[in-house]
Amino acid sequence: MFYISKRTQEILDCYQNHLPIVDTVQIGFTGTASERPPRCETDQVSADVLWFALNRDFAQTDVLISIQSITPQYAWMISAQAQPQLTPIGAVAGASDQVMPLLPLPTPFFVESNGVITMQFQNSATDPVDEGLITWIGVKLTGPINGGWRGYTASK
Amino acid sequence: MPLLNSGQIIGHYGEARWTPYAEAIASHYVNHVPFYLNVPTGLTGAADEETVVVSRPWKYDVLIFGAYVKGCIEGDDEADMVITEDSDQVITEDGDDVITEAGGGSIGGCDGQQIFLQVADRRSLLPWVTASPINAAPMSAFGGSDGRAMPLLKLPEAFFLPAGVELQHNFSVFGNLATGGSIDWVGVQLINPIGQQSPKEVEMPDGSTIPVGSRIPWFAVIGIGRETTLSGDLRFRFAAGARVLGYTQPVDCDVEIHDISCNFFLSYDNDGGNIDDIQFTLSDTGNRRVWSQNTTPAPALMGDTTKAYPALPWPKPYILKKGDQLELTMTNQGDNADIILTNGYLIIRGVKLCGL
């Protein structure tokens, strides 16, 4: 299911140990239509992590999401509208009631130790979610070789 | 034997298709970051509407791998009916009302099967969809949708969108009404090019060197059945017992054909039809050694949004040579004259080998 590209293999080769990691984050919906709860974020991890895929525990398709990473700092989403619209959750995370409960990212994303990924959600306008969980699936990278992978600051 | 330029693994399920071309481009950059581009259709529910939406240019080069679509059309506006078979009873408790909507409209489908899209980047202006017959393809041929087996549909080849270049989208509807909806392109941002310059050429598995941007998506659309107009609206109608020939537009350079998608499995099934009755034979006008002897049911040749592969891949990509066409003989083996396949399209998807 997960494809290890050359870049992903390059990252994995910089660490002695590759351990599974699962991080479930509470979104904080209160059941209000179109609400935007405060940003939530993945937990800080004491090692570098490669995140591979996402799952959500609700079926509503008109929940929206915007993702930004911290360390390294990148925005993931843009919109063609003058009034930016967040991205439908169905393009980003699998749903538990679907045949594909995990949706892989277009490329595994590397986060340095203690870095986080922040998420801004907008609730469904028609069938609001109460509470809501989003789960990140990845590989924890321990035993760095020569300091581990630092591609984001590398120069060749 | 050389590796395939299209990649040795045909039809990944679920994740980006890292073809040799995509890998070769990405290897020229230090950082890869996920990328999602939301493009609304701008449709407002008017009849025979067409909109043009241009995406914002992005500051980094991007490889686009696939898309997720959302596009609802309004269904027929009839009064609700409670349908029972002979001798059935509708049982309620004393005093209960059976409530139906009066004259309400029903949603005709939200997977983009009847909203049409043409795409071109604003640098080359090369359209992805062939001009014939409608200069567009159903949105469901570009992206998967939520609630279906495959929420994301991958392009036959990753599309390289240079920094600062916009994507132009032409959305249209024929005879249906649609409001809102969007396509979300999914890909990878390519950051910090090695040598401070985006690559101009990459090496392929067969040893050839090709320009970056020379492999672009190719969508050839064939309407299923006879083309007619009804109250000024374009229709393709395929009645039981009918047999029709269809052709792709002649290609202006070699095309690597990967898979076939269609937009009618769900609607034909809802109308009471059997999708196995819609059958095809296939041949290449430029290579008469490519032909099929017997007709083949549609699900064995093509995918649709309800399937794990919304575009069903061929076992190995096939090169359609410049100037040639694919010829399809379509037959409807159904025997119910009241069930007519309307506005069905099949979309042959591939990679045009002369983008730039």
pLDDT higher than 70, residue A115: yes
Whether A105 sits inside 8 A of B34 (CB atoms) is: yes
CA distance B43 to B139: 13
CA distance A129 to A117: 22
Question: What is the sign of the dihedral through the CA atoms of B216, B5, B29 and A45?
Answer: positive
pLDDT tier at A80 (50, 70, 90 boundaries)?
confident
Token code pair at residue B130: 């062939």
Task: Give the ipTM of the model, two decimals please.
Answer: 0.78
Q: How many CA atoms lie within 13 Å of B88's alpha carbon, on the beta-carbon side?
A: 7
Measure Cα distances from A19 to A7, A145, B83, B103, B327 in Å: 18, 15, 56, 58, 52
The pLDDT of residue A49: 93
CA distance B292 to chain A (A): 33
Burial B60-84 (b: 16+ CB within 10 A, else e): bbbbbbbbbbbbbbbeeeeeeeeee
Helix, strand or coil for residue B194? helix
The pLDDT of residue B206: 84
Under 8 Å between Cβ of B133 and B248: no
For A107, the closest of B16, B37, B53 (CB atoms) is: B16
The pLDDT of residue A154: 47
For A100, the closest of B18, B145, B151 (CB atoms) is: B151
At A25-64, the pLDDT tens digits run 999 999 999 999 999 999 999 999 999 999 899 989 889 9
Question: Which helix H or strand E contains B255, and what residues bound it?
Answer: strand B255-262
Mean pLDDT of B16-39: 90
pLDDT tier at B16 (50, 70, 90 boundaries)?
low
pTM of the model: 0.84
Higher pLDDT residue, B236 or B47? B236
pLDDT tier at A84 (50, 70, 90 boundaries)?
low
Mean pLDDT of A112-124: 94
Per DSSP, which regions of chain A are E strands?
15-30, 40-41, 48-56, 64-70, 74-75, 77-79, 87-88, 94-95, 103-111, 116-122, 130-144
The pLDDT of residue B83: 46
B337 shares contact with chain A (CB less than 8 Å) = no
